[in-house]
């Protein structure tokens, strides 16, 4: 077991004594153990509620407020298939100075909180379901890392948007393209995760239904 291996490592051993595959294996084991130790129902529920509270604030308050200046154009956060520099420049022009300030100082700050909560809560939610299915020790647990990647891409997207807003009107097409790639990757990870989640929930539902029907 990797855990036994880690515990047996001498204190004198440093990172330079380990190969890169060994380092990656230890880091992966640590993250998996971290998931397993935080699967209490109350903790998962609390994080779920907090995450969706922040999401609701964005969907009901900050995003509509920004789009109120855009003349109906979607902001970059809401475009899962990406965008080009022409769209970005048209959007920022339509927003005007007030709209860009609302985007930068009201929407973005909230969206800097959300990716972390999304990553942690949905990671643990899938871990909780896999635990109920008795699959927590299998390879399926690696699907729990998908929200972490989605959150990381969301942060990269936000950094790109912040830079675009601060540089306007001197935006480069390259910056818009890079930010668009992060938006697409965020969307792909999120979509993939929820497909996996729905499959796991369906399997759990079938399992529970069988338990009720078969004594």
Q: How many angstroms separate the CA atoms of 16 and 56, rounded?
A: 46
Q: Mean pLDDT across the stretch 175-190?
A: 97
Distances (CA, A) of 2 to 5, 8, 14, 27, 145: 5, 10, 17, 11, 19
Round the average pLDDT of the chain to a whole number and report it.
87
**Distance from CA of residue 60 to its chain's centroid?**
20
15: which residues sit within 8 A by CB, 6+ positions away?
23
146 touches 175 (CB < 8 A): no
Instruction: Compute the Cα dihedral for 135, 137, 138, 142 and give only its sign.
Output: positive
* Average pLDDT of span 106-119: 97
pTM: 0.84
Pick from 108-112, 130-134, 196-200: least confident: 130-134
Instruction: Note the pLDDT of residue 134.
Output: 87
Collapse the DSSP code of 12 into the 3-class scheme (helix H, G, I; strand E, B; otherwise coil) and give the result.
coil
pLDDT of residue 215: 58
Q: Is the pLDDT of residue 158 over 80?
A: yes
Percent of the chain beyond pLDDT 90?
Answer: 67
Give pLDDT, residue 18: 54
Query: With the C-alpha atoms ordered 11, 16, 21, 27, is the resulting torsion angle positive or negative?
Result: positive
Does the pLDDT at position 26 exceed 60?
Answer: no
Mean pLDDT of 101-121: 97
Q: Which of 202, 200, 178, 198 is nearest to 190 (CA)?
A: 198
pLDDT digits (tens, 9 = 90+) for 62-88: 999 999 999 989 999 999 999 999 999
pLDDT tops 90 at residue 208: no
- Using CA atoms, how far apart are residues 64 and 34, in angstroms rounded to an integer? 37
DSSP secondary structure string, 49-96?
A: HHHHHHHHHIIIIIHHHHHTTTTTPPPGGG-TT---HHHHHHHHHHHH
- 5: pLDDT strictly greater than 90: no
Give the pLDDT of residue 7: 44
Query: Between 173-213 and 85-102, two packed helices, what is the crossing angle to 10 degrees?
Result: 80
Mean local confidence (pLDDT), 8-26: 52
Place of tokens 């643990």: 124
């Amino acid at each position: 077991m990797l855990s036994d291996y880690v515990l047996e490592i001498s204190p004198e051993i440093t990172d330079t004594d380990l190969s890169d595959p060994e380092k990656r294996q230890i880091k992966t084991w640590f993250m998996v153990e971290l998931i397993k130790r935080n699967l209490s129902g109350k903790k998962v529920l609390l994080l779920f509620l907090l995450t969706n509270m922040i999401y609701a604030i964005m969907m009901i308050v900050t995003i509509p407020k920004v789009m109120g200046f855009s003349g109906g154009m979607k902001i970059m956060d809401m475009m899962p298939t990406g965008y080009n520099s022409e769209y970005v420049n048209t959007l920022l022009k339509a927003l005007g100075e007030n709209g860009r300030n609302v985007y930068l100082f009201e929407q973005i700050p909230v969206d800097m909180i959300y990716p972390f909560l999304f990553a942690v809560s949905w990671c643990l939610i899938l871990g909780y379901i896999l635990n109920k299915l008795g699959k927590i020790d299998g390879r399926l647990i690696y699907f729990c890392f998908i929200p972490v990647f989605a959150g990381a891409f969301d942060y990269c997207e936000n950094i790109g948007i912040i830079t675009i807003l601060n540089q306007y009107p001197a935006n480069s097409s390259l910056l818009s393209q890079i930010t668009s790639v992060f938006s697409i990757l965020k969307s792909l990870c999120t979509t993939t995760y929820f497909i996996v989640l729905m499959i796991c929930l369906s399997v759990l539902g079938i399992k529970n239904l069988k338990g009720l029907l078969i004594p």
